[in-house]
Structure 1
Amino acid sequence: MNQVITMIDLEITPPLQRETVRSYVYRMLYDNIMSLHLPPGSAMSEQEVADLLKTSRTPVREAFIHLGQDHLLDIFPQRGTFVARLHTQMIREARFMRVVMEEAVMAEACQGLPESCLRQLYEILERQQKAADAGDKRAFFEADNAFHETVFSGCGRPHIWQTLMRASLDYSRARVLNAFLEPKEIPLSVHEDMLKAIESHEGDKAARLVRQHMANQETGIRKLMQLYPDYFI
């Protein structure tokens, strides 16, 4: 019997309770792509993934189709399947959406957030500080998203945040790559200043901080395009 040689590597976690095989395969591939464990341009095959996840090819094929619809996989008949490269125009449009929506939501947040939400934001800042101290950039990035999501939820806009995330997959991947390449000391000051502006009801200051935050990220992404030109189109 010929030995199967896998050409890719996946970070694999156990299935969740009551998770279907189809959902599990999709989640594993999605998480590996979004975390850049599978970098842009990586080639993969249904059989390789099925062997790694110990499943049949059918749920893998379904996951490939779904990820193709998400613009996270490029599927070329007769040529192969590849992790999609980062689309610069989609990144620009996602950043525009984030700036417009976050400025509006920050203005609402400055009119008053529930006390429970403010406590949660402080807890997230503590998590970010611990992640920064430990050099855990993935945990820092996850807490970064949690901060913004909590502000949206506190303003009664959780579905807008979810929509932004679905429309910002390439932008999110670029931010992950940028976080991994930042120097050891990861800046926390912008989020701290945002929270202070929310507490003191300074809407103009909060909006200015959002623009500053997004501008810093844009600068980082432009550097990434120079460092990793093969990751972008």
Structure 2
Amino acid sequence: MNTTRVLRPAPVTARRNSRTLALETIREKIITLEILPGTRLSENELAEQLGLSRTPIRESLILLAEERLVYVVPQVGTVVAPILLAEIETAQFVRESLELAALAESLSRVTPEDIAHLNAIVDAQRIADSRQSLTSFFTLDEEFHSALMAVSGHGSAWRTVAQAKSHLDRARHLSLSFTGMTLLVDEHQRIVDGLAGDAADAAVLALRSHLRRVFEDIAAVRATSPELFSA
């Protein structure tokens, strides 16, 4: 009797889930600057930390290289990329174009329920500010802008914004310690108030000013940590 066992490859779904886990985890660590620019990444160490095989780790690093979040250095290996200023400018262009266009359409579609939802997020941000919780605040900031875009009926467009702004998000994480959260919360409130009061000009001006503030913040961060950035 032939008792030889046939080893079958893992189901495609399982492999995909492992790659997704690896990609999302490593990406978040890079964007939140838990892993700093210039850090060498070891496939073996990452696989051990995440409890995965090297294959999903390697596949994730390839995808992160496409986002220009990592790059390969001959004789060195995979290294976390610096924050690229050109990528920030492109991401800001995409973000501002889509968010302002969405806001223009939201003015004729907004409901009291939408305003209540946005105000609830702003209130949660004030709590995060009082607790000095940068992580919670950043998550709520994403939720606010996603919800704001959803009012226009084009909420799925937020995925396009999110995919474009990985380098911008790294800079935003850095800038929170410079700008502080209170100012950003107040700007969010002005956007909601303009939307609630059917004040188109005020809402658009508040949102544009809010989105462009990141350039001032980045200038301040670069002055103290120039090694984290690259043109």
Normalising by the smaller structure, the TM-score range is: 0.7 to 0.9
1:39 maps to 2:42? no
Normalised by the size of structure 2, how large is the TM-score?
0.87
- List gaps (5 residues or longer) in structure 1: 1-17
**Cα-Cα RMSD:** 1.9
Residue 189 of structure 2 aligns with which residue? Answer: 192
Give distance in 1, aligned partners of 2:98 and 2:25.
30
SS of 2:71's partner is: strand
Of 78, 81, 91, 2:78 maps to 81
Give distance in 1, aligned partners of 2:94 and 2:216.
17
In structure 2, what residue type is equivalent to 1:48? E
Aligned residues: 216
1:217 maps to 2:214? yes
CA contact (8 A) 1:110 1:197 kept: no
In structure 1, what residue type is equivalent to 2:219? R
Give distance in 1, aligned partners of 2:212 and 2:17.
41
Q: Which has the higher helix share?
A: 2
Higher Cα Rg, which structure: 2
CA contact (8 A) 1:103 1:206 kept: no
Identical-pair percentage: 27
CA contact (8 A) 1:42 1:82 kept: yes
Deviation at 1:68, TM superposition (A): 1.0
Deviation at 1:171, TM superposition (A): 0.7
In structure 1, what residue type is equivalent to 2:18? V
Give distance in 2, aligned partners of 1:185 and 1:208.
19
- List gaps (5 residues or longer) in structure 2: 1-14
Residue 51 of structure 1 aligns with which residue? Answer: 48
Residue 114 of structure 1 aligns with which residue? Answer: 111
Normalised by the size of structure 1, how large is the TM-score?
0.86
Pairing of 1:143-154 with structure 2 (within 5 A): 143-154=140-151
**Higher deviation after alignment, 183-192 or 202-211:** 183-192
CA contact (8 A) 1:110 1:198 kept: yes
Pairing of 1:54-65 with structure 2 (within 5 A): 54-65=51-62
Pairing of 1:15-30 with structure 2 (within 5 A): 20-30=17-27
In structure 2, what residue type is equivalent to 1:84? A
Deviation at 1:185, TM superposition (A): 4.5
1:207 maps to 2:210? no
1:228 maps to 2:221? no
